[in-house]
Chain A
Amino acid sequence: MLKISRYVLYDIIRNKIVIAYTAFLFIVSISLFSMEENSSKAMLSLLNIVMIVIPLVSLMFSTIHWYNSYEFIELMLTQPISRKKVILSEYAGVSGSLMTAILIGIGLPVMIYNFNDTGIAMLLIACLLSLIFTSIAFFAAVNSKDKARGIGIALMLWFYFVLIFDGLVLMILFTFSDYPLEDLTLILSSLNPVDLGRIYIMLHMDVSALMGYTGALYKDFFGGAFGMLYTLGILGFWAAVPLLLAVRSFKKKDL
Chain B
Amino acid sequence: MIRIENINKNFKKLQALSEVNAEFTSGQVVALIGPNGSGKTTLIKSILSLVKPDSGNIFFNNLPIKNEVSYRNYIGYMPQIGKYPDNMKIGQLFSMIRNLRAADKKPDEEVFYKFKLDTLKDKAMRGLSGGTRQKVSAALAFLFDPQVLILDEPTAGLDPLSSEMLKAKVLEQKQKGKLVLVTSHVLSDLEELATDVMYLQDGKVVFNKTLASLQEETGEQKLSKAIAYIMKKDQQKKELSYLKIAK
Give A contacts to B, CB under 8 Å. Answer: 3-4, 7, 11, 14-15, 69-72, 74-82, 252-255
Contact = CB atoms under 8 A, between A and B. Distances in A.
Contact of A4 (B86, B87, B100): B100
B50 A254 contact: yes
B71 A255 contact: no
7 contacts: A11-B85, A69-B85, A77-B50, A78-B50, A82-B69, A252-B52, A255-B50
Contacts of A81: 69, 72, 100
Nearest to B96: A7
A75 B84 contact: yes
B101 A11 contact: no
Interface string B64-108: 000001111100010100011111000000001101110000000
B193 interface: no
B73 A80 contact: yes
B48 interface: yes
Given A252-B52, A254-B50, A255-B50, A79 B83 contact: no
Contacts of A74: 50, 83
Given A4-B100, A255-B51, A79 B85 contact: no
A179 B51 CA distance: 55
B174 interface: no
Contacts of A71: 83-86
B50 A80 contact: no
B135 to A, nearest CB: 16
A80 B84 contact: no
B45 interface: yes
A46 to B, nearest CB: 34
B9 to A, nearest CB: 8
B87 A78 contact: no
Interface residues of B, number: 23
Nearest to B74: A80
B45 A79 contact: no
A195 to B, nearest CB: 38
Nearest to A14: B87
Interface of B: 11, 45, 48, 50-52, 69-73, 77, 79, 83-87, 96-97, 99-101
B48 A11 contact: no
Contacts of A255: 45, 50-51
A93 to B, nearest CB: 13
Given A3-B100, A4-B100, A78 B48 contact: yes
Contacts of B79: 78
Contacts of A11: 85, 87
The 9 closest A-B pairs by CB, nearest first: A80-B72, A71-B83, A72-B85, A80-B73, A82-B69, A254-B51, A255-B50, A78-B77, A80-B69
A47 B164 CA distance: 65
Most chain B beta-carbon contacts within 10 A, residue among A4, A11, A78, A82: A78
Contacts of B71: 80
Contacts of B84: 71-72, 75
Given A75-B85, A254-B11, 17 more contacts: A3-B100, A11-B87, A69-B85, A72-B85, A74-B50, A75-B83, A78-B77, A78-B79, A79-B72, A80-B70, A80-B71, A81-B100, A252-B52, A253-B52, A254-B45, A254-B51, A255-B51
A247 to B, nearest CB: 13
